A and B are shown apart, each in its own frame.
Chain A
Amino acid sequence: MTEQKHVMSVTVRDKPGVLVRIASLFARRGFNIESLSVAKSEIPGISHTTFVVTGEERTIEQVEKQLQKLIDVLTVIDHSEAKYVDRELMMLKVSVSSSEARNELRQIAQDFRARIVDVHRDALIFEVTGDEGKMDAFVEQMRPFGILEVIRTGRIALTRSAADPKVGRINTAKAA
């Protein structure tokens, strides 16, 4: 059985317990949640969550259907099936040992379009957005300087289409 990564957007009613239900559905079927982001959507009372999960390919359709069954879940989109745009926000604190290092760090930051959000005598904090590959590459570039701390938001994703994602993209087509 092949394990594959899936980026899933799940819109939910903003109620206590919803995340627990979703997480337990993934866990029960052996899916590991790699990243998770939850935030308000454009509609009051509705949150947009993005899950990145890894698990068995044949199980994912079952997980989607089970998610759809949850009363407080409104839509489920498995982005892996369609074209989508995803982004992640990372903040990275790196140590600055010398002025040469500081200049070099500024140069790298420029190449990555990373912003410096905090400056300290012996440390810098960068803010970077982009896809996962860019994040990973930036981390590698920073590593020789001495990374003090990294925090990433986890991925958020949107389907590339003008169609209203709140309807019609619920994978009912797959069931039928």
Chain B
Amino acid sequence: MNGAEVVLKALERENVSVVFGHPGGAIMPIYDALYDSPIKHVLVRHEQAGAHAADAYYRASGTVGVCFATSGPGATNLVTGLATAQMDSSAIVAITGNVPTGLIGTDGFQEADVYGITGPVTKHNYLVKDINDLPRVIKEAFHIASTGRPGPVLIDIPKDVQLEEFTGSFDVEIDLPGYKPTVTGHGGQIKRAAEAIRSAKKPIMMVGGGAQVASQQVMDFAEKTGVPIITTLMGIGAYPAGAPQALGMPGMHGTVTANRAITHCDLIIGAGLRFDDRVTGNISRFAPKATVVHIDIDPAEISKLVHAHVPVVGDLRDVLPRLGAELETLKTDDWWETLNDWKGKYPERYKTDKPLVSQEVIQMLEQATGGDCIVTTEVGQHQMFAARLFPTSKPRTWITSGGLGTMGFGLPAAIGAAFARPGEQVICVAGDGSVQMNIQELATIYKHQLPIIIAICNNGMLGMVRQWQEMFHAQRYSEVYLADSNPDFAKLAEAYGIDGYNIFDRDTAKTLIPEVLERGKPAVMNFVVYEAEKVFPMIPTGAGVDQMILGDQEHEEDIAAVLEEAPA
């Protein structure tokens, strides 16, 4: 058995059933071994897409995603995917080939210092120089990737190591004395948290991506305590968006109710979130009256940005039930009255007196599916519209690049999700800018006939950048215009053998969406939408969550005031 065969055998032992990858010179022995392996390989057309697909595979299933790439350019193409997974705590194991050991460091053909390059964007990485280390390293990689705070792990294997004869054993123990994630929350801290929560009059709970594994526990806790729930962009699906206790998304493009609740609350239970700057806005204006109870499995997130008065390090699946057991229903009737008043006053709204707008397209998709599907998104305005108008209600069904904000994520992510959950409808909400960043993966979708609908909100612009240029750069629209050189997306889809539709008006959109869903085939739906639509509410950079711009005519004065206050 050679090293390459060891790799595949070890992957089988980790119950890997599908790998996303692209072959090349330095990883050819592994691809040769793959020829005889029961593991299914999905040939992507760009390594970055392989990493994103593996990432989404984990997010949709909870099972570690795996991707392969060759040395040098293959491996460097993975970097964006690894960074995306690192920022959003997604468990992937990436395996790269490298030049033979003797050539490492000599600027060999297709050589790059992949171990050095990927260190900062992985939870851990390995360069394997001894073939007999392979079983242990692979075992450790899956353990590290999937436990504690999940994250990407890369294993770089020189070609000669893949070809050597194996004399070691698969019966190996992981050897990680420096790695012991804290799963069980500290009893005293949980008691302190309960005390703080009991005395709160205006509590809120903020649920982040860490809660995707603890959706049931979040729902039980919410039911028992009656606490209002805010789900961050990464937390969507961990708590049902339509539930009466849901206040929506916080932050830069959050709902008025969620952001006001943050400003006025006297206690925040932060569960599996990291208080990202897009969530907090200007930190000094964030939740000024709140006692913060922060529950997270990563101690480094505690008091990193928002000071935690009561930190609890542990797994939400352990901490939330124990915390709930200490509590009764909270007396929050007055608080709920205020919140419901805001909810009623500021519903989701947009104007349809113009040509077709992205919001109504996204809402049509939501209505046609009843939210019973997996949504992936690209990055930009459509992502924010989708977060607000198309939030799914089950965990692991909302897949977006939150932390890194990677344009080009959504399309390959849809592929990963489709393999993770066969038979389920996947919808990729995209923009005409983002979708072109990994458009080559239409070939992968065609080949496997994946039931993915790519809904492009095509405003012929890099819409989010355009919005900022309109609002903060004196309408100097620098390099955001795409319409003059965008492809005909329907024809492009057809060139790949996929059904393509160009849709220009709301009536066609309304009739066509259910029809295309019904067909259960891959499709590209290119909705040509109003070019100057903006995402509101919005908190300008540097402003606080209490300084939202609402975007309505009647709030023009507020807008001017807020802009003046906000530092550049």
Taking Cβ atoms with an 8 Å cutoff, the residues of A that contact B are: 12-13, 16-17, 20-21, 24, 28, 61-62, 65-66, 68-74, 172, 175-176
Contacts and interface: CB of A to CB of B under 8 A. Distances in A.
A24 B178 contact: no
B299 A24 contact: no
Interface string B294-312: 0000111011100000010
Interface in B167-183: 176-179
B178 A71 contact: yes
Given A66-B300, A71-B176, A172-B299, A24 B311 contact: no
Given A20-B116, A24-B120, A28-B120, A69 B311 contact: no
Contacts of A61: 303
A72 B176 CA distance: 8
Interface residues of B, number: 23
Given A71-B124, A74-B177, A176-B186, 16 more contacts: A13-B177, A13-B178, A17-B115, A17-B119, A21-B119, A24-B119, A65-B299, A68-B299, A69-B298, A69-B300, A70-B178, A71-B144, A71-B176, A71-B178, A72-B178, A175-B299
Contacts of B127: 16-17
Nearest to B115: A17
B367 interface: no
A175 B178 contact: no
B189 interface: yes
Nearest to B129: A16
A166 to B, nearest CB: 10
B313 A175 contact: yes
Contacts of B303: 61
B178 A74 contact: yes
A68 B179 contact: no
Nearest to A58: B303
Nearest to B299: A175
A20 to B, nearest CB: 7
Interface centre among B144, B178, B303 (most CB of A within 10 A): B178
Contact of A175 (B116, B123, B124, B302): B302
10 contacts: A17-B127, A20-B119, A68-B300, A69-B298, A71-B178, A73-B178, A172-B299, A175-B299, A175-B302, A176-B189
A14 B189 CA distance: 35
A73 B123 CA distance: 13
A47 B54 CA distance: 36
A21 B115 CA distance: 11
A69 B115 CA distance: 18
Nearest to B308: A175
A72 B300 CA distance: 16
Contacts of A20: 116, 119
A16 B299 CA distance: 26
B128 to A, nearest CB: 11
B189 to A, nearest CB: 6
Nearest to A64: B300
B275 to A, nearest CB: 13
Interface string B68-80: 0000000000000
B179 A62 contact: no
A73 B115 CA distance: 18
A45 to B, nearest CB: 10
Contacts of B119: 17, 20-21, 24
Nearest to A69: B300
Contacts of A172: 299
Contacts of B116: 17, 20
Contacts of A62: 300, 304
B219 to A, nearest CB: 28
A12 B176 CA distance: 11
Contacts of A65: 299-300, 302, 304
Interface string B99-141: 0000000000000000110011001110100000000000000
A96 to B, nearest CB: 44
Contacts of B299: 65, 68, 172, 175
A17 B119 CA distance: 9
Q: Which 5 A-B pairs have the closest CB atoms?
A: A65-B300, A175-B299, A71-B124, A74-B178, A71-B179
A164 to B, nearest CB: 15
Contacts of A68: 299-300
Interface centre among A68, A73, A175 (most CB of B within 10 A): A175
A79 B177 CA distance: 23
B309 to A, nearest CB: 13
